[in-house]
Amino acid sequence: MSNISFSPLIVGCMRLGVWGAQMSTSEYEKFIDACLDMGLKDFDHADIYGHYTTEAEFGEVIKKRPDLKSKIQVTTKCGIKLLTPNRPEIKVHSYDSTKDYIIWSAENSLKLLGLDRIDLLLIHRPDYLMDPAEIAEAFEQLKAEGKVKHFGVSNFTTSQFELLNSYTPLVTNQVEVSLLHRDAFDNGTLDQCLRHKIQPTAWSPFGGGRVFNDSNDEQIIRVRQKSEEIAERYDTTIDQILLAWIMKHPSNIIPVLGSSKTARIASALESTQITMTHEEWYDLWQAATGVDIP
């Protein structure tokens, strides 16, 4: 069993910078403090966020407020080489999970974030050329040097996870999970997490927010109507119902929130108090699929 302990929800940082809210340093600071006040200590980064700028912006707060180091738990990711003027040396959008690149990326993230140690480092996407022995060597070196505490992956298939986990222990697989994206329930990902007793984390838990927008899509209409019906039963909101649906699974999926609005994060946190019934869970599943279960 993994020995990492997550908050009930993980605060995603992808949209805090230039890819979204474009927060100032003071706004980042207020945001971090507000999340901590709610009992949410986990912040999810990736080196590429904001075209390689968001880690540094977040890190300005840590450098200003070193007391936060002992209060927060930071996940970051590496392995994607993104085409951007901020990294002119990258000529091709590609993946790189070589030992040297993983170590360089982790050390660079530490510097930008202003941290002494990364709590969780994920390989962001499976690299078709990955050598599991080489990745394990990188992880072992980073852990021995006290630079990273835990390791995991993101968007890995079950076979890719099994392969790497046989060389080095992984504590999570961060995958896309929502009522509109249910692959993890059928492709063995969540079964694998249960077997290894690790908690999966879920990006895009609202399916890109499509349920909240006006749409002529029959699936969206069914899901919204059923979510509203169940939300009324619990005197809550449909976003809370969508999160409660994800967290109902026995693998204890932890949603990664994408909002920069603390009010929405506070609302999302209330979903942890909803105990959905099995019938309600399947009612929503069938609303999403449009057919009865087999």
- List, in order of start, the domains of the chain with CATH numbers: 10-171 (3.20.20.100)
Percent of the chain with pLDDT over 90: 97
What does the block give as tokens for 140?
């072992």
- Sequence-ordered strand ranges (E) for 166-241: 173-176, 201-203
The yes-or-no verdict on residue 44 having pLDDT over 80 is yes
Structure confidence at residue 179 (pLDDT): 97
Q: What per-residue confidence (pLDDT) applies to 214?
A: 85
> Of these residues, 28, 49, 128, 234, which one is catalytic?
49
Per-residue pLDDT averaged across 239-262, rounded?
A: 98
Q: In terms of C-beta distances under 8 Å and separation of at least 24 residues, what long-range contacts does 260-264 make, across chains too?
A: 260/15, 260/16, 260/20, 260/21, 260/23, 260/31, 262/31, 262/34, 262/35, 262/38, 264/239
pLDDT for the residue numbered 215: 87
- Between 213 and 146, the more confident residue is 146
- Is 229 a residue whose pLDDT tops 70? yes
Name residues whose C-beta falls within 8 Å of residue 104's C-beta, 6 or more positions apart in sequence: none
Separation CA 253–CA 223 (nearest Å): 20
Residue range 122-133: mean pLDDT, rounded: 98
b/e sequence 38-54, b meaning 16+ C-beta within 10 Å: bebbbbbbbbbbbebbb
23-34 mean pLDDT = 98
Q: In the predicted model, is pLDDT for residue 2 greater than 70?
A: no
Q: Percentage of the chain with pLDDT > 70?
A: 99
Mean predicted confidence (pLDDT) in 11-33: 98
Average pLDDT over residues 236-241: 97
End-to-end CA distance of the chain: 33
pLDDT attached to residue 1: 42
Tell me whether residue 49 is one of the annotated catalytic residues.
yes
- Residue pLDDT, tens place only, 133-142: 999 999 999 9
